[in-house]
Structure 1
Amino acid sequence: MELGMVGLGRMGANMAERLVKGGHKVSGFDPNADARKAAEANGIAPAASLEALAKALPAPRVLWLMVPAGKITDDTVNTLLPLLAKGDTVIDGGNSNYKDTLRRAQLYAGHGLGYVDCGTSGGVWGLKEGYSMMIGGDAKTVEALRPIFETLAPAKDQGWGRVGPAGSGHYTKMVHNGIEYGMMQAYAEGFSILKHKEEFGLDLHQVGEIWRTGSVVRSWLLDLATDALGKNPNMDGIAPYVVDSGEGRWTVDAALELNVSAPVITLSLMERFRSRDDDSFADKLLSSLRNEFGGHAIKKE
């Protein structure tokens, strides 16, 4: 099957490379010339523009977007719209907000175009291990794209599936990432508690290795945490600053809209915010309040 990849950053380039290795013909566009050159070295035919990419693909055209959520996706979708013809399909494999996806899918449907949202998990390991894909869109359209999903997945019948109509793929991936926030926070806190029990002199990498086999807390995230502890036991050179890319916020918003209690995911998001405050006014006020009501000592800067 032939398709175009829009966005040749690390993940997009890796997905395109996996498709090429699986026997698909892939053309790609990225505004970065170096990214196009690197992709070409891995068998991806480069296009100098979105217009050139659309012209290079046979009808019905399939284009896979791997670009950042928000304005960049909107700009790409809007630029492609007049370049496509009835029967063509765009797959958004990025982490778009599902509400934006619903709007874009409706726009494309009005022009006889397919719009499929594919929540994609696998990160930098996807090239080797395959990608987990949660797909939303018209059932017939998704079925026609089966060869692509089977190639990208860990196995033809594992790790992917159509979960519902347009928007449902990105919605499912949003919640997936919210769960990920909570799991990562729990591992981080647990290992921190172990590290602070200094009199035991615990080897955190050893503990992680023990937990990786047979334990009820074993997971791929634990594998990654253990590997990281083996490489850098004290996390030297790493700032205690944790970013978020939006999915955790959207998950919490959805929980509030649906009146669903989600304290673990919500608190894990709050902890990420907390990590960015290196001059916490709130903590200073807390210290002052303890002094005001109880005469407790205040630690000076």
Structure 2
Amino acid sequence: MEFGMVGLGRMGGNMARRLARQSRKIAVMNRSFDVAEALVKETGHIACRDYTELVAVLEKPRIIWLMLPAGDVTETALSTLLPLLSPGDLIVDGANAHYQDDAPRAARCAERGIEFVDAGVSGGIWGLENGYCIMFGGSDTAAARLKPYLEVLAPTPTTGWLHTGPVGSGHYVKMIHNGIEYGMMQAFAEGFALMKDKSGFNLDLAEIAELWRHGSVVRSWLLDLSADFLAEDQMFDDIAPFVADSGEGRWTALASIEQGIPAPVIMLSLMMRFTTQGRNDYAAKMLAKMRHGFGGHAIKKGEQ
């Protein structure tokens, strides 16, 4: 057994389950050991309490796949792991990390003879059943070592995974992927909002979403998901109008500026998410005051 998975959240845990379905036995580790223990009872994998135990249980050369939050958590994991590993081992960073962090991390690994791969993973909570889309950067040698696992994690052995190029390219491609996702989601949300508001037609949004799933040029997985939840509820009375944004949406917008490549749809979709988070509240209040100042327009008082 050479493969270890660290981080058993929604993605990491289901990736471990998918490997188990194809009789790929691995070692698993999580910050909360009880999560690892529960997964082991379900899958037959081996649970480890810490990095020392994880490294000890794996045969050389090892592959350790990190599915941790990007930033300090991943950085701490790398700093802890590197002194424990041996030349020839391989670390995969499956977090939504910034691609510019990858080259320095790969260099740190290379100083110890350890390979580094950056992997962007898409599929969400449906990846267990449908397979994951994995885009990764690294050496050809590392790609060959990962291939048997990627063939299981992906939708099919030959589709859904791609060696995108050198270190950093996997996270860059995933970053752009998420930026595109922002734009697609915003377009669907705006279109359905227009239909919801249209008087006189009494449009059934669930039926329209289901219609578009068949033969339409806008059919997609996002539309499939929309059709499912619209069939249950079209009013969303218990949903707050708040949409979080991930780091990758911001990084894609910054890449547009840095590269001088216009990406107005992606940029505006990010701005719209900021608006839902209350970050436009002061500006909106100031606009209302200006309208009142020059035209005497009424100001709507906020709730007390």
Q: Which TM bucket (shorter chain)?
A: over 0.9
Question: Can you list the C-alpha shifts for 1:84-111, whole angstroms capped at 9, x where unaligned?
Answer: 0000001111111111112111110121
What is the percentage of aligned positions where both structures have the same residue?
50
Question: Following TM superposition, by how much is the alpha carbon of 1:278 offset from its aligned partner in structure 2, in angstroms?
Answer: 7.9
Question: Following TM superposition, by how much is the alpha carbon of 1:242 offset from its aligned partner in structure 2, in angstroms?
Answer: 0.5
Instruction: Give the TM-score normalised by the residue count of structure 1.
Output: 0.97
1:278–1:232 Cα change, 3 Å: farther
**Distance in structure 2 (CA, Å) of the matches to 1:271 and 1:208:** 23
Instruction: Confirm or deny that 1:276 pairs with 2:281.
Output: no
Kept in 1, the 8 Å contact 2:70–2:97? The answer is yes
1:32–1:198 Cα change, 3 Å: farther
Question: Can you list the C-alpha shifts for 1:9-42, whole angstroms capped at 9, x where unaligned?
Answer: 1210100111111121111000112311221122
Question: Can you list the C-alpha shifts for 1:18-72, whole angstroms capped at 9, x where unaligned?
Answer: 1111121111000112311221122221101111011100000000100000000
**Distance in structure 2 (CA, Å) of the matches to 1:37 and 1:245:** 30
Kept in 2, the 8 Å contact 1:229–1:235? The answer is no
Match in the other structure for 2:183: 182
Whichever residue aligns with residue 157 of structure 2, its letter is K
Whichever residue aligns with residue 45 of structure 1, its letter is I
Match in the other structure for 1:262: 263
Match in the other structure for 1:22: 22
> How many aligned positions are there?
301
**Distance in structure 2 (CA, Å) of the matches to 1:221 and 1:122:** 12
Instruction: Give the TM-score normalised by the residue count of structure 2.
Output: 0.96
Match in the other structure for 1:225: 226
Match in the other structure for 1:37: 37
> In structure 2, the residue corresponding to 1:277 is in which secondary structure?
helix
**Distance in structure 2 (CA, Å) of the matches to 1:285 and 1:54:** 58
**Distance in structure 2 (CA, Å) of the matches to 1:2 and 1:81:** 16
Question: Following TM superposition, by how much is the alpha carbon of 1:205 offset from its aligned partner in structure 2, in angstroms?
Answer: 0.7
Q: Which runs of 4+ in 1 moved over 6 A?
A: none
Moved more, 224-233 or 110-119: 224-233
Superposed, 1:232-251 pairs within 5 Å as: 232-251=233-252
Please list every run of 5 or more consecutive structure 1 residues that lacks an aligned counterpart in the other structure: none
Question: Following TM superposition, by how much is the alpha carbon of 1:279 offset from its aligned partner in structure 2, in angstroms?
Answer: 7.9
Instruction: Confirm or deny that 1:108 pairs with 2:106.
Output: no
**Distance in structure 2 (CA, Å) of the matches to 1:149 and 1:198:** 50
Moved more, 21-30 or 291-300: 291-300
Superposed, 1:30-69 pairs within 5 Å as: 30-43=30-43, 44-69=45-70
Please list every run of 5 or more consecutive structure 2 residues that lacks an aligned counterpart in the other structure: none
Question: Following TM superposition, by how much is the alpha carbon of 1:238 offset from its aligned partner in structure 2, in angstroms?
Answer: 1.1
Kept in 1, the 8 Å contact 2:274–2:280? The answer is no
Question: Following TM superposition, by how much is the alpha carbon of 1:231 offset from its aligned partner in structure 2, in angstroms?
Answer: 2.1
**Distance in structure 1 (CA, Å) of the matches to 2:136 and 2:232:** 36
